[in-house]
Amino acid sequence: MSEYAIEIGRAISRNSCLFLFDEPLSNLDAALQVHTRFKLERLHDELKKTMVPATRLQASVRFWATNPDVETTSNPR
């Protein structure tokens, strides 16, 4: 998790306009997933930047899909 936070910090410091998250919550236990979702949501609200997840986890899809522009490109298996 700390390596992930460092990479997010690097992207923020470079003033990136887009954040691509590759399976951002898949390796976390349920409690940490909830905590991390809250942190990512707060970060999104503060930065006003586009955040794009690549995930297969349905809970993650529902979390990220609070934005009407989010689209599922394939059916999960």
CA distance 13 to 9: 6
Closest CA to 54 of 26, 22, 25, 24: 22
CATH of 2-64 among 3.30.365.10, 3.40.1230.10, 3.40.30.10, 3.40.50.300: 3.40.50.300
pLDDT in tens, 51-77: 877 777 666 666 666 655 555 566 655
Q: What is the pTM of this model?
A: 0.64
Closest CA to 61 of 76, 39, 41: 76
What is the radius of gyration, based on Cα positions, of the chain?
A: 12
Domain layout of the chain by residue ranges: 2-64
Closest CA to 11 of 45, 50, 66, 63: 50
CA distance 36 to 63: 11
